Amino acid sequence: MGGRRLTLKLTVSLSLITCFLLSSSYGQNCAKHSFPNNRVFKTCSDLPVLNSFLHFNYDTSSSELEIAYRHSGIGSSRWVAWAINPTSTGMVGSQALVAYQQTNGTMRVYTSPITQYQTQLQEGELSFNVSDLSASYENDEIIIFATLGLSNNGTMLNQVWQEGGLNGNIPQMHVTSGANVQSMGTLNLVSGEAGTSNGGGSKLKKRNVSEWL
């Protein structure tokens, strides 16, 4: 009888440990993330799908937006992108930052204006200035860093984020169902308030945005 009780206690304990580990890995909080070289972003948002997080600093006087877009749990044979859409809430019209690890192990990061749904994310200039563009890949996480000049885009942004597969070093079309069609929303650069689209529709939900110094 005592042996059965011990076995039951061990089983329960292991179950609790497993649940804790799973909740820790899937319930990340952007405010707890530390960047190397003491780099600090005052505001961050846990994006609702695709294991993504946006960290940013916004200078109201210069309309410059400094961002770090993190995409976790991503394999080395996949691309990620974060974009602003100045004209709509969907993919077409988005001004994207794209990054992936190439077959030789080096990172490629570039800008890509999205003009159609069937796109291979060709490189091109965006409708606003982009500087300090870089990317890293470590521990199954891609991070895109950039500074954007948004003088003509206002402080309420439509944002889109995405991931897809690679064929060699060529980005392929992303999945067109589930989380991949829900990865869009709004971002207020002044208040830090973010809204998310529900299933790609027009209904928005307000989310809490973590601010830290």
Q: Give yes or no for a contact between 91 and 68, defined as CB atoms under 8 angstroms apart.
A: no
Q: Give yes or no for a contact between 31 and 44, defined as CB atoms under 8 angstroms apart.
A: yes
Q: Which helix (H) or strand (E) holds 143?
A: strand 141-149
Q: How far apart are CA 169 and CA 181, in angstroms?
A: 24
Q: Examine the pLDDT at 34 and tell me if it is beyond 80.
A: yes
Q: Examine the pLDDT at 206 and tell me if it is beyond 50.
A: no
Query: Among 48-52, 68-72, 147-151, which range has the highest average pLDDT?
Result: 68-72
Pick the CATH number of 43-190 from 3.40.50.150, 2.60.40.1210, 1.10.510.10, 1.10.15.40: 2.60.40.1210
Stated pTM of the model: 0.79
Q: How far apart are CA 149 and CA 152, in angstroms?
A: 8
Q: What are phi and psi of 147, to 5 degrees?
A: -120, 130
Q: Give yes or no for a contact between 43 and 213, defined as CB atoms under 8 angstroms apart.
A: no
Q: Examine the pLDDT at 207 and tell me if it is beyond 50.
A: no
Residue 210's pLDDT band, with cuts at 50, 70 and 90, is very low
